[in-house]
Chains A and B, each alone.
Chain A
Amino acid sequence: MTPFPFAPYIVAAVFALAVGATLGGALIAVLTSRLIRAVSGLMVCCLGLAGLYYFLNSPFLALMEILIYVGAVCVTIVFAVMLAEPDEPPRRQGARGWLWTGATVAVSAVVGVTLARLSLQGPWPTLPATLASDGSVAAIGRALLTTYSLAFEVISLLLLLAILGALVIARSGRKSASASGGTTSASSPSRPGQSPALQQTPAKKEPALEVVT
C-alpha cells in the first residue's frame, strides 16, 4: 500500500519550516532593538524547536516546549518588559562601537564554526540494535519515578524555592515606591499610635485612615 504520493515532500517542507523558524526566530530575538519583538522572536524560535523535537521522536517534549516556553516563560518576560523599559538604549557610536560589534561577531562565529566542525567530525557511536526502552511517555514516567526520583524531587523543591524567592525579591523594594503613590496604607512607617495589626490592613478596607494620614 502506498501512502499519499507527496508525503515525503510535505515532511521535508515541514522540517525546513521548523529549521527556518528556529534560526529566524533566534536571529529576530537577538537583532531587534525593541524588546517586545525580541520576545516574539523567542516565541517563534521555541515553536520551531518544538517541531524539531517532534522530528526527533518525542512529541511529549514538543508539547512541553510549547507549554513551558511559549506559554509561561515568554509571557513572564512580556510582563517584565511592560514593568520595565520597552527599548534598548542607543548603541555606542563611532569606531569603538563597530570594533565591539566586530569582536562579538568574531567570537560567536569562532565558537559556532568550531562546535559545528567538531560535531560533524566526531567519532559518534552507532545506535545499538536493542534499545533499553522505547522512549514513550510511559517509559519517561517510569524512569522519572524510579531511576531519577531523587532528581525529580529536588527539581520540584527548586521550583518552589524559585517561586518564593521571586516573590520576596520583587516585593522587597515595593514599599517606598507604592507609598509615594498612596495605594497602600501598610507602608508608611511614620504613623504613631497604631497597632501592627492595623498597619497591615490594606487600603481598600480602611479608606478613612488613608485620607487622614
Chain B
Amino acid sequence: MNPLHLHEHPAIYLVLAALLLAIGIFGFLHRRTLIGMLISGEIIFAAASLNFMAVNRFFAPDPAVGQIFVLFIMGLAAAEVAIALSIIIAVYRNYRSIASAELSELKG
C-alpha cells in the first residue's frame, strides 16, 4: 500500500487501538497509585473508542451509529472519572496516601 494513503486503510487504526489497549493494561498493572491507574483506564477507554470509530468508518452501513456509541463512551468515562476522583480524595483523607499497596485494611 502507498504510504501516502495510509490513513485510508483500516488496518493501521485497528493495530493502533490494539497497541493502546496493551499500553493501558500495562499501565494499569504497573502503576502504584490510584490516580495513575485511573489514567491508564482512560487510555483503555480511548482504545475502545478508536476501535469503534475505525469499524464505523470502514465497515458499518450507518456511519452515525458508531459516533453515537463513542459519544456515550465519553459520557460514561466522564461520570466514572468524577466518581473515582471523589473516592480517591476521600481515601486520601482517611489514609493520607493513595498508594494502592497501603490500602489493605480489609486484607486478612
Contacts and interface: CB of A to CB of B under 8 A. Distances in A.
Interface in B17-44: 17-27, 29-33, 35-36, 38-40, 42-43
B106 interface: no
B33 A85 contact: yes
B23 A108 contact: yes
B76 A158 contact: yes
Contact of B82 (A38, A49, A84, A162): A162
Contacts of B36: 35, 38, 88
B58 to A, nearest CB: 6
Interface string B72-87: 1011111111110111
A169 B67 contact: no
Interface string B1-24: 001111100111111111111111
Chain A binding site: helix, strand, loop or mixed by DSSP? helix
Nearest to B82: A166
B53 A29 contact: no
A131 B39 CA distance: 37
Given A29-B39, A77-B39, A166-B86, A88 B12 contact: no
Contacts of B50: 49, 52
A104 B32 CA distance: 13
A115 B63 contact: no
B10 to A, nearest CB: 7
A89 B32 contact: yes
B33 A35 contact: yes
A84 B85 CA distance: 10
B18 to A, nearest CB: 4
A165 B7 CA distance: 42
Contacts of A139: 63-64
Interface size band for B: 35 or more
A158 B75 contact: yes
Contact of B43 (A26, A53, A56, A166): A26
A92 to B, nearest CB: 9
A71 to B, nearest CB: 11
B72 A155 contact: yes
B103 to A, nearest CB: 12
A126 B72 CA distance: 26
A178 to B, nearest CB: 10
A20 B33 CA distance: 27
Interface string A113-156: 10110011000111110011111000110011000100100010
Contacts of A127: 58-59, 61
Given A143-B64, A169-B83, 13 more contacts: A15-B7, A38-B39, A88-B31, A88-B99, A89-B101, A104-B30, A112-B21, A134-B63, A140-B71, A144-B68, A148-B68, A169-B87, A170-B89
A83 B43 CA distance: 23
Nearest to A85: B98
B26 A105 contact: yes
A133 B62 contact: yes
B86 A116 contact: no
